[in-house]
Every structure is written in structure tokens, then in C-alpha cells.
Homo-oligomer: A and B are copies of this chain.
Amino acid sequence: MTTFSLFRSMLRIRRIEEAIAERYGAQEMRCPVHLSIGQEAVAVGVCAALQPQDGVFGGHRAHAHYLAKGGDLTAMLAEIYGLENGCCRGVGGSMHIIDLAAGFLGAVPIVGATIPLAVGAAWAAKLRNEDKVIVVFFGDGTFEEGVVHESINFAVLHRLPVLFVCENNLYACYTRLSERQPDRPIHAIAAAHGCRIFTAEGDDVEAVHAASRMAVADLRAGGAPVFLECSTYRWREHCGPNQDDHLGYRPSGELAKWESTCPVSRLASTLSSSPEGARLVAAAEAEIAGEIASAFAAALASPVPQPADLPGYLYA
């Protein structure tokens, strides 16, 4: 995976989420949305290390993971709009997305809920002798759920091909890490459980990618489960399209500091230092803008889903 394609994938996710934020005010996406703006490098760096047959699970903040794994953009947007062509036909909305063809195995908003599922999927892969790595993304807050420890214990016990990716953005909703956890590294607990550990600055996509490649290679070779902790930062409000620095729950200057190390624009500047690079960046912006415009148009052209179909989804 070239630096440029890592960059392009991040840029695409950034622009898609910005577009969602911009259109959210129109009151047509009638469900909660949790944006990853600022955190794209983790999703992209990890997923770029995966093969199509590998599986990914996410949580409430999963757009970036879905897109980075190759999830269908139009289906995601249609889902957020609650339309029939949505990836869950409108049953789920932003917090429930899935694209089985792309190996995005599902995201749901109960925090921690998909972590044992990822371990179970990895267990199935091992029992069936499939060459498959399973990744699950979750936040620093989610690590406080007991089920995470239960899941890690089982994964290490059975040496399953699972990569736990903790996106430590310092907050759970509006609550800072220090109000929820003592001052010690999250990954040290995973290490004590017997995971192999990697850490990366989550605003450096190449660092995340390098760590992920090693991790995934380890897992394919039958190594112990890997826990990757990435420092990162959410720029917008916990849930919804807006800025929220005025609420005062972040120390002043913190957001600005993280914005200054924006994974997307830093890489854009680097790439743009050559004229060829600058051209590529500009072209990417243009292509992505076009793709987004058509995806929104296609999504909005979807028929509306029918309540009468709901009972049919309940049982297989």
C-alpha cells in the first residue's frame, strides 16, 4: 500500500464524513451519527494491512472502519438516510452497518458488544482452518467493559487470529480518560493478559500501517492475539455533526494541538511538496468530491423501506 493510497483513503473518509456533517442539519438523516473526523489514520492504516477475506467489526463510531475495509459508500449513506438500499435496508442507521462482501462483518452501538463476536469469528476461522484475520475496533472507554477482558482471555487461551485495535481518543462521550481509568497504559493490561502489543501514534497513518502489517503477519503465522493501541483524537462532538469545543470539557488548546497534527493534511503537505504529488492530491480531491456527490445522489434515489417487511427480518 503506497503512502498515496493511504492518504487517498483517509482523505476520502474525511470528505465523506464532512459531507454527512454538512447535510445532517437538513434533518433527513434521522439517526444518531458518530463521526471519526480526526481519527481516520487508524481505520485506514489497519485496514490497509488486511486481505479481502479478513473480517472487521466496529462499534458506534464505525463509518471510517466500514469505508476503510471497502464497504459500499452508497449503501452506507442510504442506510443513514433510512432508505431501502441501505446496507441494513433502514433497520439500522448509522450505528448498524455491515458489508459482508467487503468483509465488514458488522457494527452495533452497545459498547464492547462486537469484541467477543470478533473473537468468535476468529475462533470459527481457526476451527475451520481458514486463512483469516479478524479485527475489531473500539475506544478507550470500551476497554472498561468487563466483556473485553473475557474476550481477550479466551482469544489468548485459544491463540486466535484476532487483532484488537483500541482507538484511544482520550474521551468517552464528554468524560476524560483520567475520570474513568487510573494512570497506566491500556495496552499494558492486554500485555499482561498475554497479547502481543503494538502501539502507534494514531495520527501517523504510516506508523499505524507498519504496526498493523507486522501484527497481521504475526497472526497469519499463528502468533498470539495482538493488541494495538493508537493515540488519536475526535475533533467533533461525540455524537452529531457539530464542533463542540465551546462546551469546555476539553482542556483549552487540546483540540488545536491535535488539529495541527491532522493525519490527512500533514500527509497532503508532504505529498504536495512535489508538483506531481500536488497534482495527485488535487486530482484525488476532485475525484472524491465527484464520488461523494454521486453517492449521495444514488443513495437518495433509493426507494423508502416498507414497515411490512420488518417481521420478515426477525427470524431466519
Partner of A146, one of B147, B183, B194: B147
CB distance from A146 to the nearest CB of B (A): 2
Stretch touching chain B among A34-42, A149-157, A212-220, A240-248: A149-157
Query: Which residues in chain A, 143-194, are within 8 Å of chain B measured between CB atoms?
Result: 144-150, 153, 156-157, 180-184, 188-189, 191-194
Contact: B193 with A189, CB < 8 Å? Answer: yes
Q: How many of chain A's residues touch chain B, expressed as a range?
A: 20 to 34
Chain B residues near A153: list those with CB within 8 A: 144, 181-182
Chain B residues near A145: list those with CB within 8 A: 146, 150
Q: Which residue of B lies closest to A224 (CB)?
A: B182
A214 to B183, CA, bound (A): 23
Contact: B184 with A157, CB < 8 Å? Answer: no
A145 to B156, CA, bound (A): 15
Query: Which residues in chain A, 198-218, are within 8 Å of chain B measured between CB atoms?
Result: none
Chain B residues near A156: list those with CB within 8 A: 182, 184
Further contacts, 20 of them, CB under 8 A, given A144-B150, A149-B189, A182-B193: A144-B153, A145-B150, A146-B148, A146-B149, A148-B149, A149-B149, A153-B181, A153-B182, A157-B180, A157-B181, A157-B182, A182-B194, A183-B194, A184-B192, A184-B193, A188-B192, A189-B189, A189-B192, A191-B192, A192-B192
A-B contacts, 9 of them at CB < 8 A, read A145-B146, A146-B147, A146-B150, A156-B184, A182-B193, A182-B194, A188-B192, A189-B192, A191-B192
Residues of A within 8 A of B (CB): 144-150, 153, 156-157, 180-184, 188-189, 191-194
